Chains A and B, each alone.
Chain A
């Protein structure tokens, strides 16, 4: 009797569903953006305050040609990075202390909960009152707001550490630096990336808010403020677009490629 092999479902040739293809994704995004711009075109003549897309485009072209624009963006970026660095460092120390002893974990948990709960706007105002209208206010606001979220992510990362790999590393006498670099950090990479992403998104918002309130002369928030003072809606729109470009630029230019590289061992052929 001849045997006949029947293909189980997972080996049967699959029809790729059209909706899953990336081209559809891009197309859908483009349609979404198009809808907004189309509505804008249709609606702006009906109001007295909305600028036309053409006006905004012209304003954007002017701003792009001015070096001050780039200086503002870079300044905000610097404030963000310093704040993130401080927030991450503090969170790392606290998470490490919490891992070392449950006493420290209980001690710090109240700070973490409070820091998570306090409205970030209030944090910005507090810092401005305490540190004055200075750079330090922005740094501390960013650090304070991202701190608790990073602690929580790191805590989850520590939980995911596998004692079995740790034993292997000890048996083969890997030193502390090697254990961190080759075992612990790669193991925690998903949480670290999660923390970095959240902190980055959150940090940008608080940088801008603090800049608005601190009457800074430059930075993206200061540009928002200026646009508001002159009721220059076109300029406000342009600055929002710049903001989006910077945020998405880092997401697609830095985070995604970096992540693909770090996790390349995962999506190798199975």
Chain B
């Protein structure tokens, strides 16, 4: 199997408190795959992304991307930093820089020569139907538009992969659905590898090729689901509902909700 991102036996605990966040995680993502990590709040999903993006150094385990080791046994392996796009829960744009400048900054930091910025910015804004807003201030955009700028920024740097941390959870339902469909479309057009973290089972089933199930914190990966429904998918597709129902039963047990079970 083509293991583009490979995480082996990974553990991380918070340095100041010693509280474990993730434990013995094994996970592989193929190139061009849309992988979702599904877990309850506080299960260490974000920690995993922070490790993949290079913000946190894990104490144990190995992380390789495209056969280049990033971390090995708690050490950061000195190598070229992997360019990764990141979408946070909020769009996290600099409010005092215009939409175009926000993307330009990421391009500059990623080492793109200055004479290429304009073209890259324009094409990516076009792809997200934002070309009108290149010189707009982020504060003047709607939540959905800001999220799309964040998508444009993460794609523009030609990343090895894009990490997404519940990026649509703060948006309203309609905007969220619209953006999920748009994201899938972009993913198919660009072939980029995406690791998407969410606590919404429906969202995960709708988006992913493979879906990793995590326990409540400290998080362990306890299952891998393959969602082999054909694309494009419909959010209301009854087959999604069926998979969702099956997963709910699996997950509830692990997430520890049976102690105070609600009638279903």
Contacts and interface: CB of A to CB of B under 8 A. Distances in A.
Contacts of A230: none
Contacts of A266: 139
A270 B140 CA distance: 6
A262 B81 CA distance: 33
B105 A269 contact: no
A167 B90 CA distance: 12
Contacts of B90: 164
B140 A186 contact: no
Interface string B219-237: 0000000000000000000
Contacts of B138: 265
Interface string B133-165: 000011110000000000001000100000000
Interface in A183-205: 183, 186, 189
A28 interface: no
B86 interface: yes
A269 B140 contact: yes
13 contacts: A164-B88, A165-B94, A167-B88, A168-B92, A171-B53, A174-B109, A178-B109, A182-B94, A186-B94, A189-B96, A262-B96, A265-B137, A268-B137
Interface of A: 164-165, 167-168, 170-175, 178, 182-183, 186, 189, 262, 265-266, 268-270
Contact of A178 (B53, B105, B137): B105
Q: Is the interface of A mostly helix, strand, loop or mixed?
A: helix
Contact of A175 (B84, B86, B97, B109): B109
Given A165-B92, A167-B55, A265 B139 contact: yes
Chain B interface size range: 20 to 34
B110 A265 contact: no
A173 B153 CA distance: 13
A173 B110 contact: yes
Shortest Cβ-Cβ A-B pairs, 10 listed:
A186-B96, A171-B86, A168-B92, A265-B137, A174-B109, A172-B106, A173-B109, A265-B96, A268-B137, A171-B53
B109 A265 contact: no
A167 B87 CA distance: 11
Given A172-B110, A178-B105, A265-B95, A270 B88 contact: no
A152 B185 CA distance: 51
B81 A170 contact: no
A167 B47 CA distance: 13
B92 A164 contact: yes
A182 B86 contact: no
A85 to B, nearest CB: 25
B106 A268 contact: no
